[in-house]
Amino acid sequence: MRERIVVKIGSSSLTSEQGGLNKQRIDFFAGELSRLQRAGYEVLLVTSGAVAAGFRRIGYEARPRLVHEKQAAAAVGQALLMQAYQEAFGRDGIGVAQILLTRSDFSNRKRIHNAQMTLDELLCRGILPIINENDTVATAELKFGDNDTLSALVANLVKAKQLLILTDTDGLYTADPRTNPQASRIARVDKISEEIERIAGGAGSSVGTGGMRSKIDAARIAMRGGIPAFVGKLTEDSGLLEALDGQGHGTYFDTAEHSLPMKKQWVGFHSTPRGVVVIDEGAEAAIIEKGKSLLPAGVLHSEGEFHPGDVIEVKNSAGRILGRGVVNYSYWQVQAAAGLGSEEVRKRLDVGRIEIIHRDEWVAFEGH
């Protein structure tokens, strides 16, 4: 299988501040993506811009704020966006396909498997998938953070070689370079620390909903799945191939992790946790540092109502989320077994497995 690259382009790179598509920019990005495909890569594009493309056409004077207004603008703008992409890629003889996804698609293991199979088939046929959030059926504000999170989830789903998040700024700086002349660009990040999160900042334009913070969060998801990420911008003399070769204008997020199997991806990134188990320091060391399963002896208490087979979060006594896993106990069984040794649990409870969470069904979050 050829190496896969996921490229995400934000609204501010595709549209003007006043709204509407910038066809010249779309042609530029399409040329870069076509160049990448000709170099032998399988390319997937995650795009924003539907709302920004459509709100002027529908008659709004400014980008709408209410959810139903955004949905209406997206319904118009998505068609305009795909038409522009079809024309741009068509000039290079590349066929494109539209894939619209929602958060709930990723939460459902069957649906996301179907999406994976569809993407595999399109790539096998030489078609370039263009992926966006299905804004017209969203029930809340655009949940994927200007599609930054969506791009990271897609990169994990297709086991990409790299995630390239393109924006109108050249990476992460130590401070806001627009207001602080002493700010310097951070070339590489191998761990997203609290300091990195602090300096990430907020949204930088009026047409996008994501800021550098959402891009940092997306990079974290990619890194957890074993996929390095790049956040930066393209120029006429430094395009996608240069970014892949480490010569891009931006910040590279490196990772030593390995690609996660599909089941662990679903547990760690897509599932909806049904409860929480809080553990002591000994159990934290066992599951994080030693790669052990979670046993009842290290449990302090549980929260919520869950059942065997549900996904739950595991927190330490300070309230920090350590990871997620598939639980083998019901909530009342966890409460009854908390702090007990394995033999005592076997005497008191009828459980199929002694581990509350087996290490094969556990995903630790980045930083642990």
129 within 8 A of 119, measured Cβ to Cβ: yes
SS3 54: helix
Compute the distance between CA of residue 27 and CA of residue 21 in angstroms, rounded to an integer. 11
Strand-strand pairing, 188-189 and 321-326 = unpaired
- pLDDT tens-digit series, residues 311-359: 999 999 999 999 999 999 999 999 999 999 999 999 999 988 999 999 9
Mean pLDDT value across residues 59-67: 88
pTM for this model (two decimals):
0.83
**Residue 161 CB burial class (10 angstroms; 0-12, 13-18, ≥19):** middle
Which pLDDT score, from 0 to 100, does residue 207 have?
47
The DSSP line for 311-335 is EEEEEETT--EEEEEE-SS-HHHHH
One-letter amino acid for residue 311 of the chain: V
- pLDDT tens-digit series, residues 68-112: 898 899 999 999 999 999 999 999 999 999 999 988 888 888 898
Which pLDDT score, from 0 to 100, does residue 228 have?
96
- Structural domains in the chain, sorted by start: 4-260 (3.40.1160.10), 273-364 (2.30.130.10)
Lowest mean pLDDT among 35-39, 252-256, 263-267, 308-312: 263-267
Question: Across all residues in the chain, what is the average pLDDT?
Answer: 89
Choose between 44 and 203: higher pLDDT.
44
Using 50, 70 and 90 to split pLDDT, how confident is the model at 251? very high
Tokens of 67: 């959810």
Mean pLDDT value across residues 23-33: 95
Of 251, 238, 247, nearest to 212 (Cα)?
A: 251
Instruction: Inform me whether the pLDDT recorded for 230 exceeds 50.
Output: yes
351 within 8 A of 340, measured Cβ to Cβ: no
